[in-house]
Structure 1
Amino acid sequence: MRRLPGRSPHVRPGARSPRRTPVAAGLALALGPVLLVGCSSGEPTPQERSTTALAKASDELSAIVAGFAPEGCTDASLPVTVEEGRLTAVLPDAADPSRPADRTFARAMVEGAGFGGFTAALAEEVCRQGSVSDATAVVERLGTELWRDAVARAQSTDGLAGDLPAGDDRPLYWTRLEAMAVLHQWSPEFTLTTEERASLVDTFDRAARGMLDIDLPPGDQVTRVLVSGFDPFSLDSGDEGPARGTVGNGIRHGNPSGATALAIDGTTTTAPDGTTVHYEAYTLPVSYPEFERGYLEDTVGPLMVAGDAGLDASITLSQGGGDAFALEQWNGRYHGDYAGNDRFAPCMPTGLTGAPQLAKDNPGCNVQVPERWGGGDSLTDPPQWTASTLPVAQMIEARTGTDVPRPPGDTWEDESVAFGVHWNASYAYFPSCDSADVEYVDQREDTYPPTVEPTPPPEGSCALSGGGGTYLSNESAYRNTLLRDRAGLDIPAGHIHTPDMQHFATDVAVTDATFEAWRDAIVAQSRELVEVVAAHS
C-alpha cells in the first residue's frame, strides 16, 4: 500500500538528489477524484482526524440495512460511513456486461464465503438488547466469531462453504461493513448517544479484525510472532462497464496482506533450532481516523513487553507494487496526503497546494500517538523517523519463493522464484523543517551485502516519506516500530510490502484464476518471509 512522491528518473541508487518543489497553480488532475473528496481548505481538528465521518445514507442502502433487521429496529435517517455506502455497488453482469449483475458486489462476496446469514443474525440479536453494555458484549462476541470463521475458512482444506476460494480475504471486509451499517442505523428503544454508538461500532470492528483474539502462549521454548494485514483499498478505481448504474471494476480489489493474516493466524511452525513458533495476526483499516484512535497501539502495545510472555517479532505487512517484496528500512512520521477508503486525507494533498505541506506546526501531516501510548507534543516527540530491525540479510539470502508457482504474467527476472525480495532504503525528507525544499534518497538492493551502504535520514531532518511512502502502510510501520523503541525492546520489527495482487484476466467477474493465482503465490511467499523472521528472532 505504497503512495510515493515523485522521483527523478536520473537518481542513481544511494545518491541524494536535491530538488525544489515548485508551487503549482491550480489542481493536479492526475490525483483523481478519490483523493479530493473529504479534503477541505482548512486543517482538520484533532477531533476530525480521529473521528470516522458519517453522512446521510442513500435510500437504497437504508433499504438493504432494513432488510437485515427485524421490522422497526433501524432508522433510515441515521448516517453511515463512506465505506458502508459502497455496499450498494453493482458490477456489470459477467455473462452479459450490458446489464447489471443481479446482486451487489458486497453480497457476491458475503454469500460467496458462506457468510450470507451473518448480518441478519447479528441484527436479530442486537435488536433484542436493552442496554449499551449488553449490546457491546453481543457485538464483541459476534465480531470475534466472524474473525474466527474467516480464519477457519482461509485455512480450510475441505468442506468449504460458498463458491469463493478459501484464501479470499474480501468476504471478511464486506461482511464486516454490512454489520457496521446495521449498527450505525440501529434504533434501540433506549437512548443511544453518538459517542456510545461510535464505541459500539469500534468494539465490533476491532473484534472482527482479530484485534481482541490474540492469544500468545508464554514460555522460553516458544517464539511469538505478530503479523498485521490490511483491508482492500482503491475500491473506487478501475474501468466502468457499459451497464448503467454499475461501478468501476476496482471494487473487486483484495489485499494479499489481509489474506496472509487470515492464513497465518493461530498457526505454528518449528524453527530450525526446534523451537515452536506461534503466529497471531490481525487486520488494519485503510483510513486514518482509526489509527489516530489507537487501533494499532491498543493491539500491539500490551504485547511489547520483555520476558517470556511478550512478542519476539512484530511485522506489519501491506500490498505494494510490481513483482517484488520490499523490506522497508526507514519509516517516516509524515502521513496523510492521500485519502483512505473513507475519502479523508488529514494532510492537504500536494495537488491542491502545489508543494508538500511542511510537517512543522502541521499536526494533520504528522502521525499523532495516543496519550495512553506515550503521546508526544513536539516536532521531534515522537521522532521524525524510525527504523526496521527485521533480519534483512537472512530474508534476502533465504531465496524465498523457489517452491511457489509463478502466477500468469509474473515478470520478475529471476524465474527460479515467484517474486524478488529487495531491501528498500529509500526515503524523502525536508533538510530544513522550515523549508519546502525536498531531497530524495533512492536505494533498493536485492543482494546482501548491499552495493552501497544505506544512508540514514540526516539528523534534524523532517520526514516527507519513508520507504513505504506517506500512506497507511508506512504509518503502520512507524507506529509498530515506535512501540518497539519506546518499550526498549531488541526484537525484529518492521514492514514488508508485497507485490501487487490486482491481476485479473477478466473485466468484471468477481474472481478468476489469474487473480487467485497471484493471491495464492503472494501469500505463500509472504509466509516464507515471515518464517525467516521467526527463525532469527
Structure 2
Amino acid sequence: MPRSWRALLPVLVAAPMLALPGLATAETGTDCFDKSVPLTVEEQRLTATLPGGGPAVGPELIRLAGFDALTGDFTRKLCGSTSPRRAERTVADAGRQLWRTAVDRAQGRRPELGTLDRYDDRPLYWARLRMSAALRQWTPRFPLAPDVRERLLTAFDQGSRGLDDVRFPLGKLTRRVLVSGFDPFQLDGAGVRISNPAGASALQLDGKVLQTPDGPALVHTVTFPVVWSYFDKGIVESAFGSALRDRARRPDVIMTVSQGRPGQFDIERWAGNWRGGSPDNNRASSTGPVPPAAGWPQPDVQFIETTLPYARMQAAPPGAYPVKFNQQFCVWPDSSHPGAGTPVCRTDSPRPGEIAASGGGGTYLSNESMFRSNRVRVGLGLPDLPGGHLHTPVLGQPTAPTALTDQDFESRRHAIADQVVTLATAAAG
C-alpha cells in the first residue's frame, strides 16, 4: 500500500470522551483505558439510543450478532500486551478477524453467531467503532508514541475493511472482480439504526465464485468509510490501484457500489470531478474538485465514463428492482467560476472545457468512489478495463421507530444484496 494510506489516522473529528458500553472493567477484566481521551464523532454514537430509550443501539447490534465476544477478546488482549510489537500483531489480527467473521456470518458459515439477520451489515460497523475506541483510549504498560498509535489504528481499520484480504490467484482460468461497498451513513438524520445495502452486498460477495458464461469469476470486496478525509488520503486509490498494478493478479472488472435513490438500481454513466460538501459521518464537509491522491498516476479530467457492460447488466435475470442506465451529468454554467451559479444538467456527453458540477451519482462519496477508482484505472493505462459504479435502491428502515429490525426491512435488504450479486455476475461475464 502507498505510504500516504499507511500514514492515515482515522481520527478526524474529536470530542470529549463518553462512557462507552463494553469498555468498562466488566468486559475487559482490567481497567487499562483512559476515558478522558477524545473519541471521533462516529465513536461517540456508540452511546446513542432510540428515541424511546432502551439500550445503546450500536452495542445492542453487536450483541445480537454475537460479536461481543470478539470485541471483548480484543480489549483483553490490548490490556495484556507487553510490547509495541505484540500490540501490533494483536491489532492487525483483530482487524482481519473482524472482517472474516463478518463475511463468514453473512454468508451463512457461522450460524452460531447471534440471532440477527445474517445479511445485516451494521454489526461490523459498530464492532469496528467499539474496537477503534478501545484502541484510541488504551493506556499500555509501556511507552507508546502518538505516531505508533496512529499506525495501530490504521492497521486495524485497514484489516477490518477487507483491505488486507484482496489477493487474487494467478492464472487466467478464473476471472477476477473487485467490488467496494460503504459503511452506514446519515446517522444523524436517519438515525443510528440505519443500514447500508452496499455494505451488506459487499459481505455477500467477498470470496464468492460467480458462474458466468465465460467461466468462473472470483470476487473480492472492501468497504469504505463515509469520511472525506479518508478519501483525501487515498483509500480508494490504494484499494483499486494496488490491485490494478499487480499485472499477474489484476482484476478483470472493478465496480464501486453505494446506496442511491428509492425503488431502482442505477448504473452510472458519468463520474464527475466535484464534491458537494454534504457532511460525512464525522460531520465534516468538503466542497470543490476531487483532490488528487499522492503516489498514483491520475489524469486531469472532469468526467470519467463507465466501461461497465451496462447493457448486459440490464439484461441480467430480473430481480425485485428495475435496473436503469443513468446518463445524467451536470456542469457549471461559467467554466471560469466553478461553484457559482446553478448547475446545468444534461444527458448527452460533456464538452471540452466544461467543468464538472456533478456526476450522475451526485456529488457525495459514491460519485467520488467511482471517480477515484476509475481515474487511477485510466492513469495506469487501462482505459478499456470494465469499471464503474452501481447505485442500489434505498433500503429504508424498520417500520416501528422503536424497532432495530423487522421482516420487511430484512426482506428488502436480502432482495437488494441478492440482486447486486446477479448484476456483478453479469458484469463479470
* Conservation of the 8 A alpha-carbon contact between 1:139 and 1:204: yes
Farther off after superposition, 193-202 or 275-284: 193-202
Match of 1:60 in 2: 19
Q: Could you say what secondary structure the match of 2:280 adopts?
A: coil
Match of 2:147 in 1: 195
Please, which of 341, 346, 354 is the counterpart of residue 461 of structure 1?
Answer: 354
* Conservation of the 8 A alpha-carbon contact between 1:386 and 1:478: yes
Write the distance in 1 (CA, Å) between the matches of 2:57 and 2:136: 21
Match of 2:224 in 1: 284
Write the distance in 2 (CA, Å) between the matches of 1:52 and 1:494: 30
* Conservation of the 8 A alpha-carbon contact between 1:326 and 1:498: yes
2:312 pairs with 1:394: yes
Amino acid at match of 1:395: M
Amino acid at match of 2:143: T
* Conservation of the 8 A alpha-carbon contact between 2:58 and 2:192: no
2:329 pairs with 1:427: yes
Amino acid at match of 2:316: A
1:433–1:392 distance in 2 versus 1, CA, 3 Å: same
Q: Could you say what secondary structure the match of 1:432 adopts?
A: coil
Larger Rg: 1
Write the distance in 1 (CA, Å) between the matches of 2:346 and 2:401: 35
2:20 pairs with 1:79: no
Match of 1:362 in 2: none
Shift of 1:78: 1.1
Q: Could you say what secondary structure the match of 2:175 adopts?
A: strand
* Conservation of the 8 A alpha-carbon contact between 1:501 and 1:515: yes
Farther off after superposition, 195-204 or 137-146: 195-204
* Conservation of the 8 A alpha-carbon contact between 1:52 and 1:290: no
Write the distance in 2 (CA, Å) between the matches of 1:382 and 1:192: 41
Structure 1: gaps of 5 or more residues: 1-48, 239-249, 348-364, 376-380, 402-417, 444-454
Write the distance in 2 (CA, Å) between the matches of 1:171 and 1:55: 23
1:488–1:508 distance in 2 versus 1, CA, 3 Å: same
Q: Could you say what secondary structure the match of 1:310 adopts?
A: coil
| Identity within the alignment, % | 37
Write the distance in 2 (CA, Å) between the matches of 1:309 and 1:301: 12
Match of 1:210 in 2: 162
Q: Deviations over 1:399-439 (max 9, x none)?
A: 531xxxxxxxxxxxxxxxx1111111111112433222344
What TM-score comes out, normalization by structure 1 length?
A: 0.74
Please, which of 384, 401, 410 is the counterpart of residue 507 of structure 1?
Answer: 401
2:258 pairs with 1:318: yes
Please, which of 169, 182, 201 is the counterpart of residue 260 of structure 1?
Answer: 201
Amino acid at match of 1:108: E
Runs of 4+ in structure 1 over 6 Å off: none
Q: Deviations over 1:12-56 (max 9, x none)?
A: xxxxxxxxxxxxxxxxxxxxxxxxxxxxxxxxxxxxx98632424
Q: Deviations over 1:102-130 (max 9, x none)?
A: x2111211011111112221111122223
1:64–1:152 distance in 2 versus 1, CA, 3 Å: closer
Write the distance in 2 (CA, Å) between the matches of 1:87 and 1:342: 13
Shift of 1:473: 0.3
Say how many residue pairs are matched. 418
1:50–1:73 distance in 2 versus 1, CA, 3 Å: closer
1:421–1:180 distance in 2 versus 1, CA, 3 Å: same
Write the distance in 1 (CA, Å) between the matches of 2:314 and 2:232: 33
2:89 pairs with 1:137: yes
* Conservation of the 8 A alpha-carbon contact between 1:230 and 1:258: yes
* Conservation of the 8 A alpha-carbon contact between 1:183 and 1:201: yes
Please, which of 274, 283, 291 is the counterpart of residue 368 of structure 1?
Answer: 291
Q: Deviations over 1:221-243 (max 9, x none)?
A: 110001110001111124xxxxx
Please, which of 35, 40, 62 is the counterpart of residue 110 of structure 1?
Answer: 62
Write the distance in 1 (CA, Å) between the matches of 2:360 and 2:13: 32
Match of 1:478 in 2: 371
Match of 1:270 in 2: 211
Write the distance in 2 (CA, Å) between the matches of 1:59 and 1:284: 25
Which runs of structure 2 are paired with 1:13-412 in the superposition (5 Å)?
Answer: 52-61=11-20, 64-67=22-25, 68-92=27-51, 97=52, 100-101=53-54, 103-156=55-108, 159-238=111-190, 250-273=191-214, 275-305=215-245, 307-347=247-287, 365-374=288-297, 382-401=300-319
* Conservation of the 8 A alpha-carbon contact between 2:22 and 2:59: no
Structure of higher RCO (CA pairs closer than 8 Å, 6+ residues apart):
1
Shift of 1:505: 2.3
* Conservation of the 8 A alpha-carbon contact between 2:297 and 2:380: no
Q: Deviations over 1:41-91 (max 9, x none)?
A: xxxxxxxx9863242434433x75234444341111211100000000112
Q: Could you say what secondary structure the match of 2:181 adopts?
A: strand
1:50–1:193 distance in 2 versus 1, CA, 3 Å: closer
